[in-house]
Structure 1
Amino acid sequence: MWFKHLHLYRLHGAPELDSSALASALDTHAAKPLGNADARRLGWTAPAGRLGSGQLLHEIQGHRLISALRQERLLPASVVKEEVDEKVADIEASEGRKVSRKEKTALKEQVTEALLPRAFVRSQKIDLWWDTRRHLIGVNASSRTRAEDILDLLRETLGSLKATPISSQMLPIRAMTTWLGDPASRPSDLQLGDQVELKAKGDDGVLKARQVDLDSDEIQQLLESGRQASKLAISLEGRLSFVLHDDLALKSLRFGDALIEEADHADDGDDALARLETDFILMAQALSDDVTRLLEWLGGEAQREPAAQQEA
């Protein structure tokens, strides 16, 4: 249940839906098996899988957990190209003429349509956390594109949803560079990890370092040369560690031992569904607190003008 990544969004004028209304809306956009002609499909699925008996929504103390299932047929372009090339060669040999570009495009569409039903299907479950009290959404996705796909599905499900990526008063790249170069500037409960990505202002590319002492002279010299920290591994009082990105994405999340032990010692009666909900609420509460703290370190959340709000 524990999230590995987090893309954060601020909700603006979110619709007031109780649990039953939201569950009903989710059900109308539930995931369905891919049809033979479908290249991909996205729909809601039970966060607990079969253990949840099809339950698409878990809501505990104002925190909602929903999950999307992304299904995609894997049809390599090289396979399509090989099949098209063979058909083109056959036509040119039998009819003694060159196949036009328009004909090749039509052949490619035909080949793709014929091969899709036989292609392998890759499925990916993507979890979404909705903090209804703080009007905050976090998506457990490895990329911003995947997170936006889930928000699009939620917008379609609800009919309308205005959400914008969380932004801070201080640019994360500036804060991370300052924390890295000046230990005295670091909040008392912030600790550096052992991973950093340093971006040059010019065309010198990006330098990535793992398992290094971030307070070493080598790192300081790179900062003095003008490089800036675009990614930085940090931890908050041992409760939560992650790699902070310059777009405020939190990657490679790791929750502290004390929190994991609290979840392990919870009295769930060996009920797998109760265990999922216990893990979720502990995680959600920790994330709410720590996201608030992180934004405070970054000078607070930047307020977006209504005209700049995007419907996602």
Structure 2
Amino acid sequence: MWFKNLHLYRLHGGPELAASALEEALGAQSARPLGGADARRLGWTAPAGRLGSGALVHEVQGQRLLSALRQERILPASVIKEEVDEQVADIEAREGRKVTRKEKLALKEQVTEALLPRAFVRSQKVDLWWDTRRQLIGINTSSRSRAEELLDLLRESLGSLKATPLSAQTLPMRAMTQWLGDPASRPSDMQLGDQVELKAKGDDGVLRARQVDLDSDEIQQLLASGRQASKLALGLEGRVSFVLHDDLALKGVRFGDALIEEADQADDGDDALVRLETDFILMAQALSDDILRLLEWLGGETQHTPAA
């Protein structure tokens, strides 16, 4: 249940829906098996489906857990190309002429349509955390495009949803570069990790380093040459650690031993569903507090006025 990655969004005047109303709204967009001609589909699924619960919404103390199932047929381009090439060769041999580009495109569509029902289906479950008290949404995926897909599904399910990517007064790249180059600028509760990505202003590419001393002379020399930190491993007083990205995404999230121990010691009565919800509320409360602190490190949150 512990999220590994987070793309964060700020809700603006979010809908005040009871969990039962939200459950009903999501049900209209629930996951269904792919049809033969469907290339992909995204729909809501039960977060605890494997534990025997069909609920689409789990709410504990104002924290909501939703899950979506993304299904996609895997049809490699090389397979399509091979089949098209064979058909083109057959036509040219039988009719003694060259197949036009327009005909090849039509053949490609026909081949894709014919092969799609036989393609393997790849399924991926994506979890969404909704903090109704602080009006935050966090999506557990490493891909921004996947997060946006899920947010669009939520908008479609609710009819409307005003949400913007979480942003701060100080650009993360600027703040990370300063923290890396000037230890005195680091907040007292910040712990520097051992991973960094440095971008050059010109065309010198990107330098990535793992398991290194980020206060070393080598790193300082790279900063002095004009490179800026686009990713930086950070921690917050042993509570949570992550790699902060320049778009304010958090990846490689790890929770501190004390929090995991608290979850392990919680009395769940050997009920797997209670255990899931216990882990979720502990995680959600920790993330909510720590994201607020991260925003403070970055000078506060940017105030948006989304379009109506």
Give TM-score scaled by structure 2 length.
0.99
Once residues 209 and 100 of structure 1 are traced to their aligned partners in structure 2, the CA distance between those partners, rounded to angstroms, is 50
Instruction: Tell me the equivalent position of 2:215.
Output: 215
AA aligned to 1:261 is E
Q: CA-to-partner distance for each residue in 1:110-156, whole Å, 9 max, x for gaps?
A: 11011111111100000000000101100001111000000000000
AA aligned to 2:252 is S
Once residues 52 and 179 of structure 2 are traced to their aligned partners in structure 1, the CA distance between those partners, rounded to angstroms, is 44
AA aligned to 2:185 is S
**Structure 1: segments with no counterpart, 5+ residues:** none
Once residues 79 and 260 of structure 2 are traced to their aligned partners in structure 1, the CA distance between those partners, rounded to angstroms, is 46
How far has the Cα of 1:52 moved from its partner? 4.1
Q: Give yes or no for contact 1:65–1:127 (8 Å, CA) kept in 2.
A: yes
SS of structure 2 residue aligned to 1:306: coil
Instruction: Tell me the equivalent position of 1:102.
Output: 102
Q: Find out whether 1:294 has 2:305 as its counterpart.
A: no
Q: CA-to-partner distance for each residue in 1:8-51, whole Å, 9 max, x for gaps?
A: 00011211110100000111111000111100000000111231
Instruction: Tell me the equivalent position of 1:205.
Output: 205
Once residues 246 and 263 of structure 1 are traced to their aligned partners in structure 2, the CA distance between those partners, rounded to angstroms, is 31
Q: CA-to-partner distance for each residue in 1:79-113, whole Å, 9 max, x for gaps?
A: 00000000010011011111111111111111101
How far has the Cα of 1:53 moved from its partner? 2.4
Q: Percent same amino acid at aligned positions?
A: 83
Q: Give yes or no for contact 2:162–2:306 (8 Å, CA) kept in 1.
A: no
Q: CA-to-partner distance for each residue in 1:39-87, whole Å, 9 max, x for gaps?
A: 0000000111231421110000000000000000000000000000000
Give TM-score scaled by structure 1 length.
0.97
Instruction: Tell me the equivalent position of 1:160.
Output: 160
**Structure 2: segments with no counterpart, 5+ residues:** none
Once residues 242 and 52 of structure 1 are traced to their aligned partners in structure 2, the CA distance between those partners, rounded to angstroms, is 32
SS of structure 2 residue aligned to 1:70: strand
| Matched residues, number | 308
Once residues 123 and 17 of structure 1 are traced to their aligned partners in structure 2, the CA distance between those partners, rounded to angstroms, is 29
SS of structure 1 residue aligned to 2:168: coil
Instruction: Tell me the equivalent position of 2:244.
Output: 244
AA aligned to 1:217 is D
Q: Find out whether 1:191 has 2:206 as its counterpart.
A: no
Q: Give yes or no for contact 2:25–2:158 (8 Å, CA) kept in 1.
A: yes
Q: CA-to-partner distance for each residue in 1:192-225, whole Å, 9 max, x for gaps?
A: 1000000111111110000000011100111111
Once residues 252 and 147 of structure 2 are traced to their aligned partners in structure 1, the CA distance between those partners, rounded to angstroms, is 16
Once residues 225 and 52 of structure 1 are traced to their aligned partners in structure 2, the CA distance between those partners, rounded to angstroms, is 57
Instruction: Tell me the equivalent position of 2:176.
Output: 176
SS of structure 1 residue aligned to 2:174: helix
Q: Find out whether 1:225 has 2:225 as its counterpart.
A: yes
Q: CA-to-partner distance for each residue in 1:236-255, whole Å, 9 max, x for gaps?
A: 00000000000000000000
Instruction: Tell me the equivalent position of 1:57.
Output: 57
Once residues 197 and 172 of structure 1 are traced to their aligned partners in structure 2, the CA distance between those partners, rounded to angstroms, is 13
How far has the Cα of 1:174 moved from its partner? 0.7
Q: Find out whether 1:83 has 2:78 as its counterpart.
A: no
SS of structure 2 residue aligned to 1:89: helix
Once residues 302 and 52 of structure 1 are traced to their aligned partners in structure 2, the CA distance between those partners, rounded to angstroms, is 42
Q: Give yes or no for contact 1:67–1:128 (8 Å, CA) kept in 2.
A: yes
Per mean C-alpha deviation after superposition, the further-off stretch among 102-111 and 1-10 is: 102-111
AA aligned to 1:72 is E
AA aligned to 1:22 is L
Once residues 49 and 141 of structure 1 are traced to their aligned partners in structure 2, the CA distance between those partners, rounded to angstroms, is 19
Q: Give yes or no for contact 2:232–2:244 (8 Å, CA) kept in 1.
A: yes
Q: Give yes or no for contact 1:46–1:52 (8 Å, CA) kept in 2.
A: no
SS of structure 1 residue aligned to 2:193: strand
Q: CA-to-partner distance for each residue in 1:227-286, whole Å, 9 max, x for gaps?
A: 110000000000000000000000000000000010011100111111100000000000
Q: Give yes or no for contact 2:8–2:249 (8 Å, CA) kept in 1.
A: yes
**C-alpha root-mean-square deviation of aligned residues, in Å?**
0.8
Instruction: Tell me the equivalent position of 1:11.
Output: 11
Instruction: Tell me the equivalent position of 2:257.
Output: 257
Q: Find out whether 1:271 has 2:258 as its counterpart.
A: no
Once residues 70 and 305 of structure 1 are traced to their aligned partners in structure 2, the CA distance between those partners, rounded to angstroms, is 31
Once residues 96 and 202 of structure 1 are traced to their aligned partners in structure 2, the CA distance between those partners, rounded to angstroms, is 53
SS of structure 1 residue aligned to 2:208: strand
AA aligned to 2:138 is G
